[in-house]
Amino acid sequence: MRRWRKLLLPVSWIYGAIIFLRNYLFDIQFFKSVSYDFPVICIGNVSVGGTGKTPMTEYIATLLRKKYKTAILSRGYKRASKGFVLANENISVEKIGDEPFQYFKKLKGVAVAVDEDRRHGISELKEVLHPDVILLDDAFQHRKVKAGLNILLTMHNDLYTNDFLLPAGNLRDLKSQAKRADVILVTKCPLDFSSENQQQIIQQLKVQPNQKVFFTGINYKNEVFSNTSSLLVDTLKEKEITVVTGIAHPEPFLKYLSEKGLSFKHYKYPDHHNFSASEIEGLKEKDFVLTTEKDFVRLEKQLDNVYYMPIETTFLNNKEMFDALVLDFVAINS
């Protein structure tokens, strides 16, 4: 935590008191949580962004779509629309948001919808599409819905147990709420993360007996893509590269590019950044723009010189156990 943010601890205590009261009222059922008689899986966190929800949602959707009619329901952060919107071939990134648009483009056969009211979104999906399973993207704090399986993500080098509530830290919910998770995924681990390091993290997380813990890392493709072509990463060493990121934690991406021997200038923007006309004009003047897959969906129609590098989630161990856990949950509750 940056030193100046410690000055905001009194505000965090006030925020914490409000969050505590809200959770307590749900716990005693003064506020009602709705359960469902079909599989609903929540993929979320207790911190603000950057834990790897998007690739994990893609991973689970890809796992399930082979056998089940799968739908993803997201809030659609920073979208230029309200209410329930179901993605179709004519949808735009502005209307549903960057992450849902990425899901829709990438996950063929998976329905994608957005709704800030998750209850209403679930009802609409069931009425219109009758999916076998619904994945709730980033809904761990949305307690009006009680998912059948809660998957909580936390970065290996930024565990929620070591953080503070907003605004002094990056937690948007109490650490104690992690008890509601059925599965804890420790994300963005180095691919050679040792079993000793994994055990140390499990101890720090103070895992409940009923909770399963898995460790994942990020695999970067050795190829970058535009809408019309692809290039091997090794061929980029002679280019003047401008790296553009609008994600919470671009550090692993930048580290990978450096390790591949690429030289670049980095333009860092806030998470889910909507690029202004002047920013787009400035990027048009660059020789070669490289960005993340999530940022690409906001830039592809505005730039001819932009490529993205895909990523995928990889399990350090126990992948088959995780897959079976998810598949068994859906089978039993279908």
Single out the residue of 35, 40, 36 nearest to residue 326, CA to CA: 40
Give buried/exposed letters for 158-189 (b at 16+ CB in 10 A, else e). Answer: bbbeebbbbebbbbbbbbebbebbbbbbbbbb
Residue 187 annotated as binding? Answer: no
How far apart are the C-alpha atoms of 77 and 33, rounded to whole Å? 23
Contacts of 309 (CB under 8 A, 6+ apart): 220, 221, 223, 224, 225, 233, 253, 290, 292, 293
How far apart are the C-alpha atoms of 197 and 251, rounded to whole Å? 21
Q: Coil, helix or strand for 235?
A: helix
Residue 50 annotated as binding? Answer: yes
Residue 291 annotated as binding? Answer: no
Residue 44 annotated as binding? Answer: no
Residue 47 annotated as binding? Answer: yes
Residue 69 annotated as binding? Answer: no
Residue 33 annotated as binding? Answer: no
Q: Which tokens in the block code for residue 246?
A: 């609008």
Element containing residue 204 per DSSP (H, E): helix 195-205
Residue 121 annotated as binding? Answer: no
Residues of the binding site for ATP: 47-54
Residues of the binding site: 47-54
